[in-house]
Every structure is written in C-alpha cells, then in structure tokens.
Amino acid sequence: MTRSLQCYRRALDTFTTIVTRVPADRWDAPSLCPVWTGRQLTGHVIDGQQQIVSLLTGHGPRPPVTDPALLTALAGPDPGASWQRTHQNTERTLAALDPATVVDTPLGARSVDEVLTVAVIEPLVHAWDLATTIGQTVQLDPDTVTATLPAVEALGGQLAATGMYAAAQPAPADSPPQDRLLAALGRRWTPRN
C-alpha cells in the first residue's frame, strides 16, 4: 500500500470518528465553512467521495454539488449512516484499484496515487471543521498531516483563488505541522503547545 493510499484511508477514518461523535441535535449547527451546517459539511464530504469514486473508476470528473439544499439531501436525516455507506463504498473502490492506474482528471492524466495525494485535503481538513463545529478538538493523523503539508504550502494562494478555501492565515514557521496545515488552508486555529 502506498503512503498516499494509507494517508487517504486515515483521513477517511478520522472523519468517521468525528461523525460518530456528533450529537443528534448538533447536525444543523453552523459550521466554520460559510453558509454550511454540520449536516451540509458532511454532505459536502459525501459528495467529494462520490466525485473521487467517479474519477477513479473512469467515469470522469463531475462538478461538485454546491447548493446547500442538495448537500443537506446528500447527508439525509441520518448523516452518520449516510457517511458510513459512502465511506464503505470509497473503501471498496480503493481496494479494487492499483495505485499506479492512470485516470483522466481536470488536470490531465494522473495516477490514482497522485489523485489521492491531493484529494486527501478534503476529508482531512473537514474532519477538523466538523470537530470544531461540535466544540471538540481533534488531533489529525500526524503522518497524513506531514505528507499533505508540503503540497498545500506549494499551492500557496491557488487554493483560495478557487473560492473553496479562505485565504491562508499566518502561522509561525515553528508551529506544529497541524497548525501550519490549518493556517495554509485558511482555517482560524488556536496554537497548541
């Protein structure tokens, strides 16, 4: 198993852990992601996994769902169960693929491994977003954070330019990797000691 695949699976597992901690009365609480509730944030991650499965199985890229009502519908009345089904489907897809398989992406032909190296950003950062939405802290998988940070830092302002991320926040160079990752992804974080 490649490092990218391991990191991707760990990010999915972390998101699953946070989903299982969401109290029933907190799904509709506002999230840190503008205009989304915890339910809609989960719908967004579900949509992201559906996009990844489509891309990796040769069905090509499709535009993301952005309408909050459609994101609510994706998460459904039981976002935890909806996420579990999505996670299981993603895992089945990943298990059936050779990481060296080349697929068509909006950026041209890329290996499954290359796709996962970038795609890991979504479940990873949204695990933190969802935990923060319900007032919890989360220690993201350190290896996944360390593997993801250089790619995110190299992208610089390109992420914010997509409109999907806030502008990067300042973080001291000696900050822990998780704090630097969150800052680079535009998250307002509290430094950890």
For the chain, percent of residues with pLDDT exceeding 90: 77
Within a domain: residue 131? yes
CATH number at residue 116: 1.20.120.450
What is the sign, positive or negative, of the torsion defined by CA atoms of 5, 149, 191, 133? Answer: negative
CA distance 120 to 40: 19
pTM beyond cutoff 0.85 = yes
> For residue 129, what are the β-bridge partners?
none
173 or 76, which is more confident?
Answer: 76
Confidence of residue 193 (pLDDT cuts 50, 70, 90): very low
The mean pLDDT value for 89-117 works out to: 95
Q: Give the residue numbers spanning the domain of 132.
A: 3-136
pLDDT at 189: 66
Average pLDDT value for the chain:
93
Number of domains in the chain: 1
